[in-house]
């Protein structure tokens, strides 16, 4: 069975095209060269806060994926800290 990864971008319009090959390459380097990567387009989210608000709905709808991956293109220090915090919360949700 293939390994399925759902990438949840904060804005698929501006960064969705780069995420599929980028995440695919990262997974290949981690030993999952045949992983199927899907960049979420429905529901389309716009911006960090909107994406965060939609996470519970998205995780429920796409629960058959092996790994959800939230992607934010924020580069400010506070943005990185919020992204790290969100992904930790996401991992705790998936583990339970």
What per-residue confidence (pLDDT) applies to 4? Answer: 95
Nearest to 94 by CA among 71, 70, 66: 66
More confident residue, 1 or 17: 17
Query: What domain range is 43 assigned to?
Result: 4-95
Centre a 10 Å sphere on the Cβ of residue 70 and count the other Cβ atoms it contains.
21
User: Is 36's pLDDT higher than 70?
Assistant: yes
What per-residue confidence (pLDDT) applies to 87? Answer: 64
Mean pLDDT lowest among 21-30, 57-66, 85-94 = 85-94
What per-residue confidence (pLDDT) applies to 42? Answer: 78
Helix (H, G, I), strand (E, B) or coil at 74: coil
pLDDT band at 73 (very low <50, low <70, confident <90, very high): low
Both tokens of residue 94?
């998936």
Number of domains in the chain: 1
Q: What is the DSSP string of 51-73?
A: HHHHHHHHHHHTTTSSEEEEE--
Report CA torsion sign: 19, 24, 27, 29: negative
Mean pLDDT lowest among 1-5, 21-25, 32-36, 63-67 = 1-5
């Amino acid at each position: 069975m293939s390994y399925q990864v759902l990438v949840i971008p904060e804005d698929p319009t501006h960064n969705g095209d780069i995420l599929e090959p980028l995440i695919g390459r990262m997974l290949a380097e981690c030993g999952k060269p045949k992983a199927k990567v899907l960049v979420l387009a429905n529901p389309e989210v716009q911006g960090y806060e909107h994406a965060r608000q939609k996470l519970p709905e998205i995780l429920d709808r796409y629960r058959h994926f092996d790994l959800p991956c939230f992607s934010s293109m924020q580069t400010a220090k506070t943005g990185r800290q919020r992204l790290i915090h969100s992904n930790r919360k996401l991992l705790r949700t998936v583990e339970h």
